[in-house]
Structure 1
Amino acid sequence: MTYDPASANPLAGNPLETREDMGRALLDLFDPLLPYFSKGNARVRLDGAGAHFDRAAADLEGFARPLWGLAPLGAGNGRFEHWKRFAEGLANGADPQHPEYWGTVNGRDQRMVELAALGFALALVPEKIWEPLDGHARNNVIAYLKHARQFDYADNNWKFFRIFVDIALDRLGADFDRSLTRQYLEELEGFYIGDGWYRDGNVRRIDHYIPFAMHFYGLIYSKLVDDDYAKRYRERAVLFAKDFKNWFASDGATIPFGRSLTYRFACAGFWSALAFADLEALPWGEVKHLCLQHLRWWRDKPMTNRDGILSIGFGYPNLLMSESYNSAGSPYWAFKAFLPLAIPADHPFWTSKETAPEAVAVSPQRHPGMVMIRAGGDVVALSSGQENLQMRFGTEKYAKFAYSARYGFSVEADERNFAGGAFDSALAFSDDGLHYRVRETNAEAKIAGDVLYSKWSPFKDVSVETWLVPAAPWHIRVHRINTPRALQTSEGGFAIAKRDFDLDTLSVEAGAAHVIGESDFSGIADLGSTVTRTGLAQKALPNTNLIVAKTLVPQLRGEIPAGETVLITAVLAINDPQAVSGAWMKRPVVPDIGALEQQVREYGVTVSAIVAPGQMP
């Protein structure tokens, strides 16, 4: 038989419209894990690839992460036949004398992350995994949790992990130092920016960790604990929902941006957490639609291995885009999307008719430094540029000019291959024709209405000012470059799917390039730069794009001289192959740089994402 990757997806064929559909989806995703449970059920090992932490912690990850979905299923009286596995695994994993002991926490440790899922499950369904334990096993579990919480957790969303352990300890009647709980709740307050937005630590980035971590944990907390922090979390979630809904396209896709995208439909976790917390931040029909439509988007993606195990990757198995902390069990944070299984069938989340939120054509968002624009069925985030210099491909994940729900983004496979770079939504410079530099961080980043401005340097002696302007379905980029020496440049549009047998249309000319695939058009055009650039239809290296494995990227390439150069670029990508005779022929109006400068000067405010504490501009 010919292997069909999409048919191996456990969500294939599921309408994902009802509570029953969601419950079936969870079990269909969980069942492929069963053969990989260890004899004592404390570990789940899925493959031989490694993460930066030890194998025991990775095995715990495989055991614990499914509980983000299974615990709500149990709390909602859903059918699940394997609770005994989890009770036994909990007892054995916390027992220092058992061969499957998870290992002792010493300092900041991946185990701290996974204990949050255990704490959540112990608080939500103690009758499933706690009450079956004998006194000796219970003492081991309490001792394990109490030992872990004495260490310092990372200064970001990790602080919620100890809080979840503490909620469990409180529910189980354990004696522990509650002042530590209060300390972390207060320290988390330091990450709040305003208007519902957080920063995930002392960093210059705001990504999906805000909805599927900071808000997700805060909303669960607000359901399990009644205090002033719970009230704040609920108020902030209402504010955040108004912005975050604009990150989702009509087909349910969300804008892939930042790290940890292998968690996939955890991106729906915010909407799921609103349901769990009984918080109608938007009309229930809209919350339900945003949650279920996102899950439905994943139904035809080849996101699993042959046996139905969620792979590391995004739209398909792809280790290239992964983080060093991604083990084979990491993708099961996706189960955060299943929180609504905890609420009863007569809850308005389930009884309301799905309603798509009103489509907002342009949505400026100061805190992440983005301007969301809708075109066709896509949502594009123009981005002022954020910063992640610590993680692999942090530049591609945070500092491109645009990110698309339909076309995702690409990571580069070889920093010594200027000729073969994808450079989608990026401007690359090379001084030797081999190596290259792109935007990695900003000296300045401002938003002025719907215009974004940034100042950055690809080399120490080269400065670039960039303005990004929406002109739906196009967007415009203006770059003013000052360099003491000649440089080669390459600027890319959006990457679209490439077909086999060279069935696609590739067109290049002076000052423009476009590519036409089976369903999509992507083009880039020079609008009047001070130098001449030539079009190129780049066949990107495979497995570089997050959503599809093979892509085409239209580019403009050319050399700039020493001194000042202005590049003005228009970019269009749309799911309509006929756009070549439509929108492609209607180039946007060339903006006036002086007017852009004045707009930023008069109305520009600094983007919150780059104003980390201690890094005020």
Structure 2
Amino acid sequence: MRRRNFLTAMSLAGLTGLVRPKSVLATENDNEKLQKPVDDRTYWYQLLYKIANPVVSNLAAGTLVKNMPLITSPTFDKRSPKVSYLEAVGRTYAGIAPWLALPDDGTEEGKLRKKMRLEAVKGLDNCFSDGSPDQLVFNKDYQPIVDAAYLAQTFLRAPKALWEPLKLETKQAIVKAFKSLRNRKPFKSNWLLFGSITEAFLLTIGQDIDKDRLNEGIIKLNEWYKGDGWYGDGPNLAFDYYNSFVIHPMMVDTLAVLVDHQLVEAATYQLALKRMQRYAVGQERLISPEGTFPPIGRSITYRTSAFQALAQVALMNKLPKEILPAQVRCALTLVKKNMYDVKGTFDGNGWLQLGFCGHQPEIADYYTSTGSLYMATLSFLPLGLPATDPFWSAPFTAWTAKKAWSGNGFPKDYHVDY
């Protein structure tokens, strides 16, 4: 039965590839008209701007709470829906951080990027200010453990762009907020890495740390490693995208900090990186010739963030030798076109709506609300590479499934023992 269900899901994923997307244009804001996409990079940055701008611009204006629609899953649990605002901020910022970290330039992209960066900093100053209508709440519920972690990852990814320019009182408020989470223990799952990466960020700025919280995520996830690039989410394997949503990126980013501070051996980091590279091989092969992927497991309303691990390996210039950067770009470009141009993905004001491919609120999990959806930005990490990088500058290159189903040669695949 499980095998039949999986094959059905794969078939449906293939059918979605028959949708032929229209052109996707970024939302016009402040009377700025964005140029029509003419290449993959232009398409990516305009789409990222379209997704992220409602969060960032409203946060800068102090109107996030006023203007963000607070839509929850039909099965939403008893947590306060107001955690959705923190979710929107943490997740959006973690995805836009590498792009905003690029230096300013005079291109249309550069001008738009600078605008978003300045608004992003202003927005953080606003939402950590006492009395702000958008003041983020960290002292209630368990959900802030999650999205503090994405903010911490934001600052690790773009310290000069998004941490250093903040007001001193904003930095102090963020540190206080992060430390306030220590009175709540992460669940025994991928959540342990949320505690680890938050403490890792505090370590980078010279703050006192909770050593047990810092180390527990690394220790337990390594105990739960199942092999061939897959970690268990807890003692058991979960066949979903949480290895990409959370586990590989936060494991590698946390270990990078620990290596820098000589708290673990470099070999420990290298092993985690090799595992993420192996997982990235599988991710690239999951993309069908039509640019679709199977809607498996929890949290599929996070849409393309299912490919964060592949995107981060590309950003790091650490793709395995059998995967050319351009084939990742071309595959993910088609995935984005298939996914984000479907009617109902955005509401009339440009906010993401609950769904996987369009507006499908019935598939949202019990913890999902509007803010949760901004995990989608995490697939845009390669925008942190300059336009001259081969990821962007190389010509069209077919990805593995496209080669295989066209009768062309493609690399064999083997399991690994690490």
TM range (shorter): 0.7 to 0.9
Instruction: Note the 1:1-20 alignment, pairs <5 A.
Output: 10=25, 17-20=39-42
1:157 aligned partner, one-letter code: N
The CA deviation at 1:251 is: 1.7
Aligned residue for 1:325, secondary structure, equals coil
CA contact (8 A) 1:274 1:280 kept: yes
Gaps of 5+ in 1: 1-5, 363-373, 377-617
Q: Structure 1 residue aligned with 2:353, among 295, 300, 311?
A: 311
Q: Give the counterpart of 1:252 among 273, 278, 291.
A: 291
| Cα displacement string for residues 520-566 of structure 1 (whole angstroms, at most 9, x for unaligned residues) | xxxxxxxxxxxxxxxxxxxxxxxxxxxxxxxxxxxxxxxxxxxxxxx
Indicate which of 229, 243, 262 corresponds to 2:301.
Answer: 262
Provide the residue aligned with 2:251 in structure 1: 218
How far did 1:347 drift? 2.8
- TM-score w.r.t. the length of structure 1 is 0.52
Q: What is the aligned-residue RMSD (CA, Å)? A: 3.2
Per-residue deviation, 1:16: 7.8
The correspondence for 2:378, drawn from 326, 332, 336, is 336
Map 1:141-152 → 2, pairs under 5 A: 141-152=174-185
Asked if residue 90 in structure 1 is aligned to residue 132 in structure 2, the reply is no
Match of 1:70 among 96, 113, 116: 96
Structure 1 residue matching 2:314: 3-state secondary structure: helix
Match of 2:319 in 1: 280
2-structure distance, mates of 1:244, 1:170: 32
Name the count of aligned residue pairs.
Answer: 359
Residues 45-444 of structure 1 mapped to structure 2, 5 A cutoff = 46-50=68-72, 51-52=76-77, 53-77=79-103, 78=110, 79-95=113-129, 98=132, 100-106=134-140, 109-203=142-236, 205-221=238-254, 226=259, 227-281=266-320, 282-302=323-343, 303-359=345-401
Structure 1 residues 210-231: Cα deviation after superposition (integer angstroms, max 9, x where no partner)? 2332223334446666433321
Whole-Å Cα distance in 2 between the matches of residues 41 and 175 of structure 1? 34
For CA contacts below 8 A with separation 6 or more, give which structure has more relative contact order: 2
Cα shift at 1:325: 0.9
TM-score by length of 2: 0.75
- Does the 8 A contact of 1:94 with 1:102 survive in 2? yes
CA gap of 1:76–1:18, structure 2 versus 1, over 3 A, is: farther
Distance 2:47 2:38 in 1: 8
Query: How far apart, in 1, do the equivalents of 2:133 and 2:54 lie?
Result: 24
SS of match in other structure, 2:82? helix
2:149 aligned partner, one-letter code: A
Structure with the bigger percentage of helix: 2
Structure 1 residue 235: Cα displacement? 1.0
Query: Structure 2: where are the runs of 5+ without partners?
Result: 1-20, 28-34, 104-109, 260-265, 408-418
Q: Which amino acid aligns with 2:280?
A: A
Structure 1 residues 96 and 31: CA distance shift in structure 2, 3 A:
closer
Counterpart CA distance in 1 for 2:203 and 2:119 is 24
Structure whose CA Rg is larger: 1
Q: CA deviation at 1:299?
A: 4.5
Q: Distance in 1 between matches of 2:26 and 2:298?
A: 24
In terms of fraction of residues, the more strand-rich structure is: 1
| Whole-angstrom CA distance in 2 between matches of 1:95 and 1:232 | 41
Shift, 1:95, TM fit: 4.9
Flag the 1:299–1:55 CA change in 2: closer, same or farther, 3 A: closer
SS at match of 1:193: strand
1:340–1:21 Cα change, 3 Å: same
| Contact 2:86 2:137 (C-alpha < 8 Å) held by counterparts | no
Shift of 1:306: 2.1
CA deviation map 1:52-105 (0-9, x unaligned): 332431111222221122211111235231444433443454456655432243
Matched, 1:25 2:25: no
Task: Give the Cα–Cα distance (whole angstroms) in 1 for the partners of residues 150 and 163 of structure 2.
Answer: 14
| Distance across 1 between alignment mates of 2:183 and 2:89 | 23
Amino acid at match of 1:63: V
Preserved contact between residue 340 and residue 357 of structure 2 (Cα < 8 Å): no
SS of residue paired to 2:370: coil
The CA deviation string for residues 461-516 of structure 1, in whole angstroms up to 9 with x for no partner, is xxxxxxxxxxxxxxxxxxxxxxxxxxxxxxxxxxxxxxxxxxxxxxxxxxxxxxxx
**Distance in 2 (alpha carbons) for counterparts of 1:17 and 1:306:** 26
**In 1, are the aligned partners of 2:97 and 2:162 still within 8 Å (CA)?**
no
